[in-house]
Amino acid sequence: MKAFSKTLGEIAQFIGGKIEGEAQAQVKGVANLESADQTQLSYFASPRYKKALLSTRALAVLARENAPPIEGMNWIRVANPTLAFAQVAHWFNPRPQWPPGIDASARVHPEAQIHPSACLMANVFVDKGAVVGARCVLFPGVFIGEGAKLGEECWLYPHVVLREGVLLADRVTLHAGAIIGADGFGYVFDVEQKKHTKIPQLGIVRIEDDVEIGAGSCIDRATHGETLIGRGTKIDNLVQIGHNVRIGPLGLICGQVGIAGSVTIGEGVVLAGQVGIADHLSIGNRVIASAQSGIARNVEDGALVSGFNAFRHADWLKFMLSAHKLPELLKEVNRLKRRLEELEKKELP
């Protein structure tokens, strides 16, 4: 990789920060506080990292305006150090540029459309009627089903599967092993034949702009119509999204979340790790569900929910704080019950 360096002054200008220190100092990379060396930029975003800040060897640190100065430290003051660090990290580590072309081992149907600027690596398969847009990169082993369509600048890492009819908008990233458009889990029990009869899954999956989906995640095609992942939503590894789910824009869905069929999720929803949502529910805008929440009823806009069945986080905290007292409370209730019985016996004529 070509050597890359910028002065602190150039970095401050790039992110709109205010520099305190040596503006001409050369930065050659980025790292966290613990691992940064004398050529690297780091960031300080929370008081819990103060110990690491005091011992860091970083050349300079991104920090908020109110962070206390440290003698000898170069600072760049910004409103959001984490965001500024991400922006600088992208600047120093841009996406690789893959040359356009189709590897000799790839198999592309004659009726597929591949933009000349796209890159198809070894053993990619593109079926009839599929469309691969400008500057897309398909890594080895990617499967594109019949009639699937990719917009511009989509990156599909090794062994991604796009089943037939799946639609990707622009700048969609699918990490290794993601499966988009597999059949939804739909069966009806035939009492006479004593068997489960499959309900044909005839819909598609549509993924809007700037969505990123983690490794090993699965998004099922709709029974009818479409399963939808809204603009800018980010999905972690090992997530299961059922048929006909509709997820609004700008969501964050963490690892091992499971969403049953026909759930509607609003804008800016955060589902922490291992959240489970039952079918046919409505989750409002800006809802936050804490880790391992089990949601079995509709959730209103802006709610913070926890537990199973998930209920308001403040109530759940009260419950958890009192839970360890339950054995002693039970003993006290039993003592009072016995005392009441004794008093009642004394009052009898």
- Positions marked catalytic: 243
**CA–CA distance from 256 to each of 246, 265, 284, 311 (Å)?**
18, 17, 21, 20
DSSP element (H, E) containing 11:
helix 8-15
DSSP string computed for 295-346 = E-S-B-TT-EEETBTTEEHHHHHHHHHHHTTHHHHHHHHHHHHHHHHHHHHH
Rounded distance, CA 120 to CA 138, Å? 5
Q: Are 79 and 64 in contact (CB under 8 A)?
A: yes
DSSP string computed for 214-270 = -TT-EEEPPSSSEEEE-TT-EE-SS-EE-TT-EE-TT-EE-TT-EE-TT-EE-TT-E
